[in-house]
Chains A and B, each alone.
Chain A
């Protein structure tokens, strides 16, 4: 399911004085294949490295907690600024959650007067803010575009799902509850010909043509920017690497999803 391996340097090894942790510990975290490794160079590390080779997983780019954090930050900003819901970055979220839990435990073991405890706690609250805001923004979108999102989700399958399990359940519940509420409060008092409700006609669509600011991470050539005047030709545009533009979201939606450009 998750192909990438997170080789994560346990940032806490020096925090703990327990003897069993003096040697770097390697454990597989939750359903992610996160290999926790200490930054200390010890024989057991190299052993595990060769294990990785044996597993044939060495081709995957090793990811550190820092690179996961950076990628998640981009995903968070994209999600905040895009009009439609993007695919759920479950592996990043879970990886960071795991890190936070781990770090939380270690910080608690530290003396309150220790300088490090405050600094670690501060970093944790910064990451927690990003995580919660990411989830919050997604829930807001689900509440707003429930029908459209559910409809789109039902056409996707397996690995391409955009919502997490919890979000999908929430969307279904929210949709059902809204309909029940409309039914009991208003619709059943209406004359019969008017008492039916078609969510397809009533639902709100995300404004896909709204304008967004983007930054190209790689060069893009031949991007089509549609004009809405039939007499004018659609414009074609080349984006240089690292250039910034304002464009209609619909013209770059696919590029945002594959990570060629990011929203700013």
Chain B
């Protein structure tokens, strides 16, 4: 899957906005949203929020986890625990990225948030790489990947499944060779004899 398609999926997450216009209920195929009253918060999908924000029709209210304090706590937990911790949203990275690009003025301390997010992302990527190489060295057949977000799964997508597949093929070939040499054992004596 393409990275922008992961973002596409993240854009269906709901987010609160404060509109500066009045409009009745918006009947979209993906659901009904609104009614919109200037100054009163309403919940809409992210793509709608960003579109409205770009046209300066609303202010975006950042999700409760998108502030320095909460993210620092998450980062702390992430560095202490050996396993992946649960993220506040399955699309935390994409949502944060989209909001920081489209509506950085609506988010207090946007600069600091970016730094902490990058730290969280980096420490999780380091864990991902470490566990991938561990899995491959052990020749694992399956693994549990709880709490990995879609973006992170996508980042290891071409490489990890492919390598595991390659290992499986090599194993299959070597076991087939072993079988063949067993059945033909006597005729193929070792070269030293």
Question: Which residues of A line the B interface, CB within 8 A?
Answer: 9-15, 39, 65-66, 69, 73, 77, 80-81, 96, 99-100, 103, 115-116, 118-120, 122-124, 126-127, 129, 207, 209-213, 225, 227-231, 235, 237, 243-248, 264
Q: Are A245 and B142 in contact (CB under 8 A)?
A: yes
Which stretch, B65-73, B101-109, B112-120, B163-171, touches the partner chain A? Answer: B163-171
Which chain B residues border A228 with CB–CB below 8 Å?
168, 171-172, 175
Leading 10 A-B pairs by shortest Cβ distance: A11-B27, A211-B161, A228-B172, A211-B164, A244-B145, A247-B142, A66-B31, A65-B29, A210-B165, A246-B143
Which chain A residues border B24 with CB–CB below 8 Å?
14
Which chain B residues border A65 with CB–CB below 8 Å?
29-30
- 10 A/B residue pairs, CB under 8 Å, sorted by A: A12-B27, A14-B25, A39-B27, A65-B29, A96-B29, A115-B23, A119-B48, A126-B47, A213-B161, A246-B142
Q: Are A264 and B31 in contact (CB under 8 A)?
A: no
Q: Are A13 and B28 in contact (CB under 8 A)?
A: no
B180 to chain A, nearest CB (A): 13
Q: Are B144 and A248 in contact (CB under 8 A)?
A: no
Known interface pairs A119-B48, A123-B30; A243-B144 also in contact (CB < 8 Å): yes
A39 to chain B, nearest CB (A): 7
Bound together, the chains give a CA A118 to CA B179 distance in angstroms of 66
B176 to chain A, nearest CB (A): 9
Q: Are A230 and B142 in contact (CB under 8 A)?
A: no
A-B interface contact total, Cβ < 8 Å:
116
User: Which of B48, B51, B147, B168 has the most CB atoms of chain A within a 10 A radius of its CB?
Assistant: B168
Q: Are A230 and B31 in contact (CB under 8 A)?
A: no
B38 on the A face (CB < 8 A):
no
Q: Are A264 and B150 in contact (CB under 8 A)?
A: yes
Q: Are A66 and B29 in contact (CB under 8 A)?
A: yes
User: Which of A81, A120, A211, A225 has the most CB atoms of chain B within a 10 A radius of its CB?
Assistant: A211
Bound together, the chains give a CA A212 to CA B1 distance in angstroms of 12
Q: Are B160 and A14 in contact (CB under 8 A)?
A: no
Bound together, the chains give a CA A115 to CA B47 distance in angstroms of 15
The secondary structure that dominates the B interface is mixed
**Can you add 17 more A-B contacts, CB < 8 Å, to A69-B30, A228-B175?**
A14-B27, A15-B27, A66-B31, A99-B29, A115-B21, A118-B51, A118-B55, A119-B51, A119-B52, A122-B48, A126-B8, A211-B164, A212-B161, A243-B144, A243-B146, A244-B145, A245-B143
Bound together, the chains give a CA A187 to CA B150 distance in angstroms of 47
Known interface pairs A81-B1, A123-B29, A229-B175; A116-B141 also in contact (CB < 8 Å): no
Which chain B residues border A225 with CB–CB below 8 Å?
141-142
Which chain B residues border A118 with CB–CB below 8 Å?
51, 55
B153 on the A face (CB < 8 A):
yes
B57 on the A face (CB < 8 A):
yes
Which chain A residues border B14 with CB–CB below 8 Å?
none
Out of B1, B32, B161, B172, name the residue touching A246 (CB < 8 Å).
Answer: B161
B83 on the A face (CB < 8 A):
no
Which chain B residues border A69 with CB–CB below 8 Å?
29-30
Which chain A residues border B12 with CB–CB below 8 Å?
73
Q: Are B32 and A11 in contact (CB under 8 A)?
A: yes
Out of B32, B171, B172, name the residue touching A39 (CB < 8 Å).
Answer: B32
B148 on the A face (CB < 8 A):
yes
Which chain A residues border B5 with CB–CB below 8 Å?
80
Known interface pairs A13-B27, A116-B23, A123-B28; A210-B161 also in contact (CB < 8 Å): yes
Out of B11, B29, B143, name the residue touching A103 (CB < 8 Å).
Answer: B29
B5-29, CB under 8 A of A: which get 1 and which 0?
Answer: 1001101100000000101111111
Which chain B residues border A126 with CB–CB below 8 Å?
8, 11, 47
Bound together, the chains give a CA A100 to CA B24 distance in angstroms of 21
Q: Are B28 and A209 in contact (CB under 8 A)?
A: no
Nearest chain A residue, comparing its CB with the CB of B57: A115
Bound together, the chains give a CA A81 to CA B6 distance in angstroms of 13
Q: Are B27 and A9 in contact (CB under 8 A)?
A: yes
Which chain B residues border A246 with CB–CB below 8 Å?
142-143, 145, 160-161, 164
Which chain A residues border B148 with CB–CB below 8 Å?
244
Which chain B residues border A103 with CB–CB below 8 Å?
29
Which chain A residues border B153 with CB–CB below 8 Å?
213, 244, 264
